[in-house]
Amino acid sequence: TPSVRRLADLPAFVMPAGTNRVALAFDPARDGVPYVAGVEVFAPGHATPRHTHARGHELFFAVSGAGTGECDGVTFALGPGDVAIFPPGTRHGIDVAADAAEPLVCVEVMSPDDAFADAVRAGEFKGGLTPSELCQLAAVGCGGGGGEAEAEP
């Protein structure tokens, strides 16, 4: 049978010592899958410490905002509609300019998990995605038809 998650119900965590949040949709510990999938939000000013994954392919599908990716010294712009994948063993990261008007919001998948979900859950639990992130991802809570989007927490 299929597994279905609602964006509004995803648990979100601030990565340890980070300015990025990950809302877990599918997680090996909870769901018995060999990958992790969710939504990653990179705040303005975020700079990912460059790192590698031994086995995991890490994919980012940018939904809103803008950032810069780097993989083995090659930099590239990342914005809405862009998809980037970092192969295992590559040194990589994603940054967002400090003066960015909004966070970079991406759908993120790591396959196989390569202990990424454990690292996410080691962060601080922050509830879920914000109303504006839900609106950007799926037009949920965007107002219209008689109401405005909910205020940010």
pLDDT of residue 146: 39
For 99-149, the pLDDT digits (tens) are: 999 999 999 999 999 999 999 999 999 999 999 899 888 877 787 543 444
Q: How many CB atoms lie within 10 A of CB 63?
A: 19
What is the percent of the chain with per-residue pLDDT over 70, rounded to a whole number?
Answer: 93
Question: Can you count the helices (H) and strands (E) in the chain?
Answer: 3, 10
- The pTM of this model reads 0.89
Report the C-alpha dihedral over residues 82, 129, 8, 58, rounded to 10 degrees: 40
- Check pLDDT > 90 for residue 20: yes
The mean per-residue pLDDT over the stretch 54-75 comes to 97
pLDDT of residue 92: 98
Instruction: Identify which of 147, 99, 127 has the alpha carbon closest to the alpha carbon of residue 24.
Output: 127
The mean per-residue pLDDT over the stretch 71-85 comes to 98
Q: What is the DSSP letter of 112?
A: S
* Token representation of residue 123: 């962060």
> pLDDT confidence of 150, banded at 50, 70, 90?
very low
What is the percent of the chain with per-residue pLDDT over 90, rounded to a whole number?
Answer: 82
Q: Which residues contact 99 (CB under 8 A, 6 or more apart)?
A: 44
Q: How many CB atoms lie within 10 A of CB 119?
A: 18
Q: Across the chain, what does the average pLDDT equal?
A: 91
Whether the CB-CB separation of 115 and 141 falls below 8 Å is answered with no
